[in-house]
Chain A
Amino acid sequence: QVQLVQSGAELKRPGASVRVSCKASGYTFTSYYLHWVRQAPGQGPEWMGWINPNTGDTTYAQKFHGRVTLTRVPSISTAYMELTWLTSDDTAVYYCTRDADPGGIYVRFDPWGQGTLVTVSS
């Protein structure tokens, strides 16, 4: 079955960087856009960006521009999200999710990874 499995929880100091991985299985990795979405405690989801796993092309929410980098390694069907210059406001659960129609952006997010809790604290 289609599945996204993310790396484990992280505890980071303010000013540090974090990298979260998202390993895909059960489908052709390069055929579907991957999105990253975060959710702060008690808040709604917040879209961060997408990556075309085939070409590596990315689009980011302007709020995160310059701090977030999305990459992928097709040979191992894995995508990565790196966020730099962390502050306490970045404490959230970070999700990867697949756009469920191939080849484009349809805002049809299915499935989702299990989420990775990133805690930023001194």
Chain B
Amino acid sequence: QVQLVQSGAEVKKPGASVKVSCKASGYTFTSYYMHWVRQAPGQGLEWMGIINPNGGSTTYTQKFQGRVTMTRDTSTSTVYMDLSSLRSEDTAVYYCAAGGSTRLDHWGQGTLVTVSS
């Protein structure tokens, strides 16, 4: 069955960067796009962008353009989300989710990123 296992919780200072990983198993890695979604405490879901593991092309929402980088390593079936210039408003649970380009079929367990001085 499809499994997405994300890296552990992070605590970062304002201005730092964070890199969250998402290791996929149970399917052919290049068969699904990988999305990244975040959820601030007590808030709704916010889509950040998508990477196509087949080739590595990416699309980011305008809000995160210039601050987010999504990459993949096909040898380990892992995708990464790097977010820079962190501020307190970036405190959230970050999810990876595999699916088509238009929907999110399978979700990781989430990674809490806390930004605090």
Q: Do A and B bind each other?
A: no
A contact residues vs B (CB 8 Å cutoff): none
